Structure 1
Amino acid sequence: MLFLKTVIFLQILCGFCFIGLHSKIQHDYNFVVKEAQYTRLCSTKSILTVNGKFPGPVISAHQGDTVYVNVYNKGQHNITIHWHGVKQPRNPWTDGPEYITQCPIRPGEKFRQKIIFSTEEGTLWWHAHSDWSRATAHGAIIIYPKENRAYPFPKPHAEVPIIFGEWWKQDVRKVFTEFLTTGGGPNNSDALTINGQPGDLFSCSKSETFKFNVDQGKTYLLRIVNAAMNLILFFSVSKHNVTVVGADGFYTKPLTTDYIVISPGQTIDALLYANQEPNHYYMAARAYSSGTAVPFDNTTTTAILQYNGNYTPISSPPLPYLPYYNDTQAAFNFFGSLRGLPNKYPKTVPLNVTTHIETTISVNTLPCPEGHSCAGPNGTRFAASINNISFVAPSIDILEAYHYHIKRVYSKGFPTFPPFLFNFTAEYLPLELQIPKQGTKVIVLNYGSVVELVFQGTNLVGGIDHPMHIHGFNFYVVGFGYGNFDKEKDPMKYNLIDPPLKNTVVVPKNGWAAIRFRATNPGVWLMHCHLERHLSWGMETVFIVKNGKGSNETLLPPPPDMPRC
C-alpha cells in the first residue's frame, strides 16, 4: 500500500519569482478552477485559470513523494487535470485525460487526485486535458532530488520557471468549437508568451514583460516548459549559452548550446551562467514550423535578463540568434544531441523486444456531411489518424469500461502495423489514401512486454513534425531519421547505449522515430500527438496494459469520488 508521504507546497506570491531550494510543507494542494479577467494585447477577456493564476501554481515535491490535489471546478464547463510525465504507477485513475481515464469534473463538483511520483526528477508540468482548456490552465511541476541527495551538476544559485504559451484575443473555447464545426483549421494565436506575457515587441503589454535579475558570476537553473497549443519553439538568450542538464523529468548529459528546441508537452532543465557584462539581455522564443502552407503564429515573444549592479542599461537590447522558422536541420541537430545519463539511471535500454509496433501518423480528410459546407481541403473536413484510424472519444471513460467490464465502449484489435503500405513520404499520394476509418480501438499489452514502437510520419494532406506523447510511461528514444523507416537497415543505427529518457518525442516531417519501453505499468494509458489540433482531429489511441502476477503488478482500486459520466 502506498502511504501519503509529504506534500511540498510552493506559494507563488509575485507571479514568477525565483524559486528557492527549500519549500513549505503542506498536506494537500487545492486547485480552484475558475474564470478570471486577464488583459493582454490591449484586450481584456475572461479565461479559465487555476487559483486565479495564469500560468497556474507550481507543484513542488521530492522524488518518490505522493501528493494529493483537491480539484474544485468553479468554472462554467467540464474540466480534467493531467500530470504530464508523471508515470502514476498502477494509478491511471487520476491521470486525467477526459473520457480515457475519467469522466470530466462537472461545474460545482470536485475530485481529489492522487499524484504518485516515482523515478521522475527535474521539471514536468500539469495541464487541463479537456477540449482546449489547457491553453490557460497549466503550470510547472518541480521534482527535487530525495532529501540529502544532490543534483548531478553544480547547485544553482536560484531557479526560475520559464513557461511558453499561446494567447488568443478571441475566447479559446470559441476557437475550438469553430474549427471543429467548420472542419477547417483553427485560428492562429495572436501572440506567444513567456510566463503569461507576450513581451516588449507588443507595445500594449510591454510594461508587464517578464524580467528576472541575476548576479554576475552566478548560475541559474531555467525550468522550461512548452505549454503552447500547436507550436514547437526555438528559444535562446542573447549573448549567453545555456547548458541542458535535463529533459522530460530526467537528467541528461550536459549539452552546452546557443539555442534549444522544445515541443508542446516537453520540458527542459538548463543552466544559465551569468558571465556577461552587466546589462539587459533578451531571451526570446519563436516557432519552428515545417509544414508547407500550414499557417502558424510567427510572432516572437521576449523576456528580459537583467544583471544587478550600477550601470546604464542599453535602450534596445538585441534579439538573440534563433534559427529560421523551418530549419529542420537545426531542430533535429538539437534533438539528436541529447543523451541520457546512465550513471544516474543505471537501468539499461531493453534489448530483447517482444512486441513490435509500427504506426503511421497522418493528417487526413473526411467527406463533408451532406447539406453542410466544410472548410477543409477541397470542401472536406480535416482529420488525423494513427495507422489510418481516427480516434472517436466514447461517452464513458475507457478505464471504467475496462475495469468494470462494460461492453461496447471500445474495441480491441488496433493494428500494430500500417494497414496500407505505400511510399509514405512521396510528394504526391492518391487522394483515396487520405480518408481514415473512425473508431475507438485500443492496443492491449501483456504485463512486462518489451515494446519497440516506430512512429512513421506521412505526407498525406501534408507532412509536418509530430510531438508524440505517451501517458504512464517514459521511453528511450533509440533512433530517428528522414524518409521511410527501413526495418532492416535503420535499427543498425540505433543508440542503445545512452539514449535520452523522454515522455514526448518529436517525429520529423516525413520521417520516423523509434522508442522502447517496458510495459510494467498496468492500466489504461493515452498516446497522442501534442499538437492540440491533431489531437482534436483524432491522432490518438490507447494502451491497455494487463495486470501482472504479483500484488505490486496490478491496478490499484478506483478512488471513491471518481467523477460521474
Structure 2
Amino acid sequence: MMDTLKFVFFSAFLSVTLTLVNAEDPYIFNEWKVTYGTISPLGVPQQVILINGKFPGPVINCTSNNNILVNVFNNLDEPFLLTWNGVQHRKNSWVDGTPATMCPIQPGTNFTYKFQVKDQIGTYYYFPTTALHRAAGGIGVLQVHSRPLIPVPFDNPADEFAVVVGDWFKKGHKSMKNLLDGGNSIGRPDGLHINGKSAQVGAPAEPSWTFEAGKIYRFRFCNAGMRTSVNFRFQGHDMKLVELEGSHLMQNDYMSMDLHVGQCMSVLVAADQPPKDYYLVVTSRFTKTLLTTVATIRYTGGNGPASPELPPPPPENTAGVAWSINQFRTFRWNLTASAARPNPQGSYHYGQINITRTMKFVNSRNYIDGKLRFALNGVSHKDPPTPLKLSEYFGLAEKEFKYNLIPDEPPPEVEKNCKVAPNVLNATFRNFVEIIFENRENTIQSYHLDGYSFFAVAIEPGRWSPEKRKNYNLEDAVSRHTVPVFPGCWAAVMTTLDNAGMWSLRSEMWERFYLGQQLYFSVLSPEKSLRDEYNLPETSLLCGVVSNLPRPAPYV
C-alpha cells in the first residue's frame, strides 16, 4: 500500500513539474471590432474610427512576457492595419503592422495579431498605418507592467489613467488623404484633444478623473497626434516623471512636460491640494498659434470649480527649443531599478561597445512634378504593391525593389534632389550602430524605430560632426524608441541591431510619413534559424506577387 501511495505521489509530482517546465507565459485575448462612428472632438460632428465603439480604443493591460492576441474585425470600407508603437516584437516583424511588413486586413474580414511583450515594461500605444486613418482614430494605449517578483522603483499608485493626447483636424481623414495624394499639405491642426474630447476653461464639464486626498495617481500619457508637440501640466500639482518609453528614470519633479509626437511617458501626481476641481492643461508647442485644451480633475468631497487662471506654457521659438533640449538632458535612466533590460544582456553598458556603422540622415521637403514629398537623404519612400518583407522572404526582393539607394552620409545638396522609391537599407545582424538625425528645416521632427529601443545620447543645435561625440551621454542615456529633433539641431542614438526582421524607421509626423520620410532596415540573420527569427505565420495574409505562391521552407 505504501509503495502504491509513493508511486501516486511521485507521478503527481512529476506531472506538476513537467507542466511548470513546459508552461507558456500567460495569454491575453482581445476581440476588436473596427467601425466608423461619429463624435465631436472639437464641437463639430465627424466620422471617426472606433474600436469596440470607443475612441480612444480599449486599453491593453498586460505584464512583461505576456502573449497578446488581438483579433481585429475590419468593418470599414477600406483596408486596415494596426501597429504597436514601441512594442519590440522580438523576432517577429510579421505582425509589426506597417505596409511594408504586412498585407492589410480587407473590409469585411478579420486577422489575429499575436505577439509577446518580451522583456518590456512601460507605456506604448497602437494606431492605424493604412491610408490616413491615424487622423480619424483607431488609437489606444498598451501598458506593460512589471512581473510581480520584479520590484518597481515607486509605490503602487491608488489608480492609473491612460491619456491619449494630440492635435485634431476638422477635415475628415479621407479629405486629408486626398489633399496629400494631390500634392498638397494637410495644413495646421484646428485644435487639441484629451482622450477624444476638447474643453475650454470655464465650460461645464464632467470630471475626467477623480482624486482622493492623500493618495498618489499614475498618468500614462501618449502623444498620438499627426504633427504637433504638446506640453502638459496639472493646475496646482507637481509631477514626478517615473517612466519614459519603457524605461524607469531617475525621478525628478516637473511643473510641465513636453511630449513630442509618438512619445509616451508616465508621471505620478500626489493629491495634496485643497479638495476642489483642477485642470489638466495641454497646449501646443512650436506652432504659430497656441492651441489649448483642458480636462477636469475632481477631488472626492471637493467644493469649488477649477480656477480660470492656468499655469503658463513654456517659452516658444529659440528659447522654447533650448527649454525643451534642457528638459531632455534631465532624463536619466535608472540603472539600479529592477526591470527588463534591452537585449542582448549587458548592452546597457553601451558606452563601452565599439560602433560598427554610423548613418547620418537628413530630412528634406521637396516637390516632384509639382507634388509635395518628404525624404531622407534624397529618397522619398513609396510602398510597393507587395510588402517588402514578403518579397524578401519569398526570394523576390531583387525583382521588386533595390536595397541601399541612400548612402550612410547625405549626398551634396540633399535638400534639392529627391527621387521616389522603396527605401530599404541592409543592416548587419547584431552590429552596434550610431544613427544621426540632422534637421536642417525650420520645423521640429520626431523619429521612431520599430522593433528596437535605442539610447538617445545627445541632442544639440547645429550640424553633427564626429568630434561631437565628446558630448554624448555614454553612461545613463534613456533606452527609448522615439527621439525629437528640433529645428536646426541634430540628435544621436545608438542601438544593437539584434532583432531580425524588416523594421520601420520613420517620421512620426504622419503627413511626412505618408509622403515618404521613412525607410526600412532589413536585418537578416545569416543562420536563417528559429533562434533568430520566427517563420511566416500560417495565418499571415498574402497579397501582391506572392498571393498564390507556395510558402518557402520554414526555418528550423
TM (normalized to structure 1)?
A: 0.86
| CA distances 1:310-367 after superposition (whole Å, capped 9, x unpaired) | 53x1464321221134311122121221111112346321533343233233232224
Where 1:134 maps in the other structure, the secondary structure is: helix
| 1:2/1:133 CA distance change after superposition, 3 Å | farther
Query: Distance between the aligned counterparts of 2:393 and 2:377, measured in 1?
Result: 26
Q: How far did residue 28 of structure 1 move?
A: 1.4
Question: Which residues in structure 2 correspond to 1:439-518 (within 5 Å)?
Answer: 439-459=421-441, 463-487=442-466, 489-518=467-496
The SS at the match of 1:187 is coil
Corresponding position of 1:248: 245
SS at match of 1:161: strand
1:197 is aligned to 2:202: no
In structure 2, C-alpha distance between the alignment counterparts of 1:335 and 1:101, rounded to whole Å: 32
3-state SS of the aligned residue for 2:40?
strand
How has the CA–CA distance of structure 1 residues 510 and 321 changed in structure 2, closer, same or farther, with 3 Å as cutoff?
same
**SS, match of residue 93 in structure 1:** helix
Q: 2:92 is matched with which residue?
A: 91
Q: Would the aligned equivalents of 1:238 and 1:321 in 2 still touch at CA under 8 Å?
A: no
Q: Is residue 522 of structure 2 the alignment partner of residue 539 of structure 1?
A: no
**C-alpha displacement of 1:411:** 1.2
Which amino acid in 1 is paired with 2:409?
A: P
What one-letter code is carried by the residue in structure 1 that aligns with 2:277? H
Report the counterpart of residue 365 of structure 2 in structure 1. 364
Check if 1:409 corresponds to 2:406: no
Equivalent position SS for 1:408: helix
Whether the 8 Å contact between 1:209 and 1:302 is mirrored in structure 2 is: no
Q: CA deviation at 1:382?
A: 2.1
Partner of 2:121: 121
Matching residue's letter, 2:461: Y
SS at match of 2:45: strand
User: In structure 2, how many angstroms separate the alpha carbons of the residues matched to 1:158 and 1:41?
Assistant: 28
Instruction: Give the match for residue 309 of structure 1.
Output: 301
Q: Secondary structure of 1:339's match?
A: coil
Q: Secondary structure at the match of 1:434?
A: coil
Q: Which residue of 1 aligns with 2:384?
A: 394
- The 10-residue stretch of structure 1 (541-550 or 505-514) with the greater mean CA deviation from structure 2: 541-550
CA positional deviation for 1:212: 1.1
Q: Distance in 2 between matches of 1:42 and 1:194?
A: 13
Q: Which of residues 262, 268, 273 in structure 2 aligns to 1:271?
A: 268
Query: In the alignment, which residue of structure 2 is the partner of 1:555?
Result: 533
- 3-state SS of the aligned residue for 2:390? helix
TM-superposition CA deviations, 1:363-384 (whole Å, max 9, x none): 322243xxxxxxxxxxx43221
Q: 1:69 to 1:310 in 2, by over 3 A?
A: closer
Instruction: Evaluate the alpha carbon distance shift between residue 53 and residue 480 of structure 1 in structure 2; reply closer, same or farther with a 3 A threshold.
Output: same
- Partners of 2:23 and 2:175 in 1: CA distance: 42
Flag the structure with larger Rg.
2
Query: How many Å separate the matches in 1 of 2:533 and 2:131?
Result: 27
Superposed CA offset, 1:238-271 (max 9, x none): 1211011111122111121111111111100111
Matches of 1:83 and 1:209, distance apart in 2: 31
Aligned partners of 1:357 and 1:452 also within 8 Å: yes
- Report what 1:343 is aligned to: 336
**Cα distance in structure 2, aligned partners of 1:322 and 1:255:** 19
**Cα distance change of structure 1 residues 486 and 157 upon mapping to structure 2, 3 Å threshold:** same
1:159–1:185 distance in 2 versus 1, CA, 3 Å? same
Whole-Å separation in 1 of the counterparts to 2:172 and 2:261: 20
Q: Does 1:299 align with 2:255?
A: no
Question: Is the CA contact 2:39–2:45 (under 8 Å) kept in the aligned structure 1?
Answer: yes
> Equivalent residue for 2:50?
49
CA–CA separation in structure 2 for the residues paired with 1:557 and 1:350: 34
Instruction: State the match for 2:324 in structure 1.
Output: 331
Instruction: Give the aligned residue type for 2:418.
Output: P
Give the letter for the 1:472 counterpart: G
Q: 1:225 aligned to 222, 227, 233, which one?
A: 222
1:92-132 CA distance string (max 9 Å, x none): 0111012x110111101111101211122021111111122
Tell me, yes or no, if structure 1 residue 187 matches structure 2 residue 187: yes
CA distance in 1 between partners of 2:22 and 2:532 (Å): 13
**CA 1:315–1:72 in structure 2 vs 1: closer, same or farther (change >3 Å)?**
closer
Equivalent of 1:435, from 417, 420, 432?
417
Q: Residue 235 of structure 1 contacts residue 261 of structure 1 at CA under 8 Å; is this kept in 2?
A: yes
Q: Equivalent residue for 1:526?
A: 504
1:11 alignment partner in structure 2: none
Q: Which amino acid aligns with 1:381?
A: K
Query: Are residues 306 and 184 of structure 1, via their aligned partners in 2, closer, same or farther at CA, if it must alter by over 3 Å?
Result: same
Amino acid at match of 2:377: N
Q: Measured at CA, do residues 209 and 184 of structure 1 come closer, stay the same or move farther in structure 2, by a change above 3 Å? A: farther
Contact kept? 1:243, 1:257, Cα under 8 Å: yes
Assess, with a 3 A threshold, how the Cα gap between structure 1 residues 350 and 94 changes in structure 2: closer, same or farther: farther
- The 1:111–1:358 alpha-carbon spacing in structure 2 relative to 1, beyond 3 Å, is same
2: distance between equivalents of 1:200 and 1:465? 27
What stretches of structure 1 of length at least 5 have no aligned partner? 8-26, 369-379, 423-431
Distance 2:278 2:367 in 1: 48
Distance 2:271 2:417 in 1: 53
CA distance in structure 1 between the aligned counterparts of 2:150 and 2:410, rounded to whole angstroms: 49
* Mapped contact 2:366–2:375 kept (Cα < 8 A): no
| Counterpart residue identity of residue 313, structure 2 | L
Query: What's the CA shift string for 1:123-167, capped at 9, x where partnerless?
Result: 111111112212311100010111343321122111111110333
1:408: Cα distance to partner?
A: 2.6
Q: Do the aligned partners of 2:423 and 2:518 also contact (CA within 8 Å) in 1?
A: no
Question: Is 2:80 the counterpart of 1:66?
Answer: no
In structure 2, do the counterparts of structure 1 residues 479 and 79 end up closer, same or farther at CA, with 3 Å as the change threshold? same
TM-score, normalisation: structure 2: 0.87
Inter-partner Cα distance in structure 1 for 2:280 and 2:160: 16
Structure 2 distance, partners of 1:298, 1:414, is 40
Alpha-carbon spacing, 1:310–1:342, altered in 2? closer, same or farther (3 Å): closer
Deviation, structure 1 residue 552: 5.2
Change (3 A) 1:40 1:514: closer
State how far apart, in whole Å, the 2-side matches of 1:138 and 1:42 are.
20
CA distance in 1, matches of 2:355, 2:239: 39
What residue ranges of structure 2 are gaps of 5+ in the alignment?
A: 1-20, 544-556
Code of the aligned partner of 1:302:
V
Q: Distance in 2 between matches of 1:287 and 1:550?
A: 47
Structure 2 counterpart of 1:238: 235
1:53 partner SS: coil
Q: Quote the offset at 1:41 in angstroms.
A: 3.5
Contact preservation (8 Å) 2:241, 2:266: yes
* 1:441 to 1:179, Cα distance in 2 relative to 1, 3 A: closer
Q: Tell whether 2:207 aligns with 1:214.
A: no
Decide whether the 8 Å contact of 2:166 with 2:230 is kept in 1.
no
The corresponding residue for 2:372 is 382
- The AA in structure 1 aligned to 2:322 is Q
Q: CA deviation digits over 1:480-508, x for unaligned, max 9?
A: 21111021x21011111000011001112
Compared with structure 1, are the counterparts of its residues 349 and 122 closer, same or farther at alpha carbon in structure 2 (3 Å cutoff)? same
Q: Percent identity?
A: 23
